[in-house]
Structure 1
């Protein structure tokens, strides 16, 4: 005969055992943290300079959150980088709009999107996280918030970016280029988003993601970069993930959250990134052949990996043993012929 009291008692015991088991796992992970911690990884070749700045904090025992913010500010300030920060290419109406998000080991997060006239969106995103009850501020509201907190309002459209925009207006064609979402003058190209993930000496994980978005986008367009769960996600018990490429497809699959959840199930960082790419291909088989999306992930042990739809995606790694290491990410269309 069904005994409700007995069922509740047994359920309570089971829940207690589960909690004890989970606690034991968490302690084990921290206790067995590998010697390569701290570590910082980031997307694309320009992640090398970002990692160097982040490493200055990590090697002194600093917090991962401080490291990823400092690292992300490097490409934001780089006047030769036309896909991140103050020198970013504008939208089709000539507006330079910036997006960024940040997330710490406690699950706190902040973001800004479509923000104009402020050079360091990653630092504004951190203030949103720490100074407001919100997660995301956009447009004029984000700019107003930044100015109220001491950020300088400045013109972000540089002469070089304006020249490239006016050249683009002649044909007025919007077609993202594989691995090179933003075309530079003279036929050169530049990559897009920088996503960073770091684990500090205490084993805590934080992440950051910042971009000026795709060049010549529609005014008001926002990609995955400032969207928690899409462009970036961190779970301190499991790991973190970030993405790069055409943000619309990442948003549709909540890509970075998916990668972290797959790692929770036991997938390696590389395999989790690969599975997230497969989801994009399954939903948009034709579209995926024409666009690039890449994922980068790290687990609690400090193991890292990446995968992309197409070859050409790279990422940078920095720890006590490896400095300035650039690794080509594996890709689906390069390795799978069907």
Structure 2
């Protein structure tokens, strides 16, 4: 079964992959589909989405014998449930490699919860006798995607129910998409510095040590091999963005940004902004409240450096992801 575009092809939108069953296709072993949750549907409307099915991609039909993961914690095989003699491990790994070759513009992937091929984590592992051993695996296709493109943001439909994980996933997809666009134009030292300037506060919100490390890296732009430096930079940035941002870390960034307004705002406005940030820090209001106030003040007091900061708008506001974190 070839890859299938689920949504339109808007060049301005990132492209994500999605499990074909989540896209409404009856490709599961029993001939059924899997209804996507509301968050998956919303993301498919936000991004360009292309559907893939590893089992169909390696030539297995519908219906087909069920498969599961068998082996030790560090070494599993993807085999048929009944006899354990049909081993699909390498074929599925090769299919993942081919997906990335056919769609190098992929900026993220929505996997399928609990699937032995497409599960993100906590997938069932069985012993050679067919008895359940643990919930400690990643699906073979999912693991291969992570191995062949470590930068590619991955989540499954179940984990996307968590507002924090959903917000993180979308942030990483847009970040990776912007990096891919930068590379398509040709990486330059100036381009790398400009990219860091846009993403520094987003990195700070997720992982301060990485934020500091990124700053040291771009200080060497023009002095070191640019391709190697670029690889190190984006690996560090994407790893930082996988760290959960907290109310405390977000508040730290909000106060940094508010510092750019200290000469433009009167005492009462500064006090009100500080109170809103503190209300967010203590859980009284969501992140969107102080961010909206900051945007309001910067609209009235333009600052070219702050206007470019991805932290203020890491993705389209209409997604409303910051209403819940």
Task: Give the TM-score normalised by structure 2.
Answer: 0.25
More strand, by proportion: 1
TM-score scaled by length of structure 1 = 0.25
Q: Which has the higher helix share?
A: 2
